[in-house]
Amino acid sequence: MIEKCLFPVAGYGTRFLPATKSMPKEMLPVVNKPLVQYGVEEALDAGMNTCCFVTGRGKRSIADHFDISYELEHQISGSGKESYLKSIRDVLDRGVFTMVRQREMRGLGHAILTGEPLVGNQPFGVVLSDDLCLNTGGDGVLAQMAKLYAQFRCSIVAIQEVPPEEAHKYGVIAGESLRDGLYRVEDMVEKPPAGEAPSNQAIIGRYILTPDIFEILRDTPPGKNGEIQLTDALLTQAKQGCVMAYRFQGKRFDCGSVPGFVEATNHVYENLYEE
């Protein structure tokens, strides 16, 4: 039912310098697969087969990754090494990949708005590929959220409980509990200062958004850090209608930080890697 998924991938990856000096952070490998491919596979598994990338300068290798490499295909064809290409060939067979460039970095809300021409007037998923979400043996997080969307038909954010001292790194929600792990959002704050978080339910980088979010984003003034914040637009949407927050099944790794990235690497190597 939800056909498209937006991937904001224009960020600089400062925390991984110098590795990210000339390479997009989304192409850093977790074992043998670039971070962004995990997110794309999650979207495809949720039935979202058009993946829309909001890219920027220096991100061309992402576009190349989701295309055929004729030279490589030719070299490897018929050799024992063909199996190494299996996962990316599967992705290419299942998906359509579109791109638009974000010329200025004005925040996540601005990145989402930049993707509007690729998404159009329909509900869509959003993956922040820094958050690697794995639910081995069950539905991926976006598939779980797409099922909820079919029921509620409103925007949904993924949440996870975090220790109070970590809340300042996230968008934090507060709301009315509808059932275990499902809330109707009443308040939402982007990166609250220490001691001011409305709860310990932090937004993780998976969203389903209804397309009226674009109109709201156009009218959303810069917020935290002078950036146009998706969190602020979602609060407006929650007040005008409805936004749900969903505590997902699965494990999440913060691959935007070095310790989270290392943890993800160890987890994938020990549990999912097949030679």
Interacting residues of 247 by C-beta distance below 8 A, sequence separation 6+: 158, 159, 160, 161, 181, 182, 201
Question: What is the closest distance, in whole angstroms, from the C-beta atom of residue 89 to ligand G1P in the complex?
Answer: 30
Closer to ligand G1P by CB, 3 or 263: give it.
263
Closer to ligand G1P by CB, 11 or 123: give it.
11
**Measured on CA atoms in the order 163, 164, 169, 171, is the torsion positive or negative?**
positive
DSSP strand E in the chain: where?
Answer: 4-8, 29-30, 33-34, 50-55, 96-101, 124-127, 131-134, 155-161, 171-179, 182-190, 201-209, 243-247, 251-254
Interacting residues of 37 by C-beta distance below 8 A, sequence separation 6+: 65, 87, 88, 91
Closer to ligand G1P by CB, 47 or 222: give it.
222
Cα 176 from Cα 252, distance rounded (Å): 24
Question: What is the closest distance, in whole angstroms, from the C-beta atom of residue 202 to ligand G1P in the complex?
Answer: 6
Q: What is the DSSP pairing of strand 201-209 with strand 171-179?
A: antiparallel
Question: What is the closest distance, in whole angstroms, from the C-beta atom of residue 93 to ligand G1P in the complex?
Answer: 30
Closer to ligand G1P by CB, 30 or 203: give it.
203
Q: Which residues form the interface with ligand G1P (CB under 6 A)?
A: 108, 128, 131, 170-171, 190, 202-205, 230-231, 256
| Distance linking the first and last C-alpha atoms of the chain | 35
Task: Let me know: does 172 contact 259? Beta carbons within 8 Å.
Answer: no
Closer to ligand G1P by CB, 95 or 192: give it.
192
Question: What is the closest distance, in whole angstroms, from the C-beta atom of residue 128 to ligand G1P in the complex?
Answer: 5
Question: What is the closest distance, in whole angstroms, from the C-beta atom of residue 253 to ligand G1P in the complex?
Answer: 11
Cα 252 from Cα 239, distance rounded (Å): 29
Angle of the 141-152 helix axis to the 35-45 helix axis, nearest 10: 40
Question: Nearest residue by C-beta to ligand G1P?
Answer: 171
Question: What is the closest distance, in whole angstroms, from the C-beta atom of residue 249 to ligand G1P in the complex?
Answer: 18
Closer to ligand G1P by CB, 56 or 171: give it.
171
Cα 263 from Cα 183, distance rounded (Å): 29
Question: What is the closest distance, in whole angstroms, from the C-beta atom of residue 237 to ligand G1P in the complex?
Answer: 14
Closer to ligand G1P by CB, 9 or 128: give it.
128
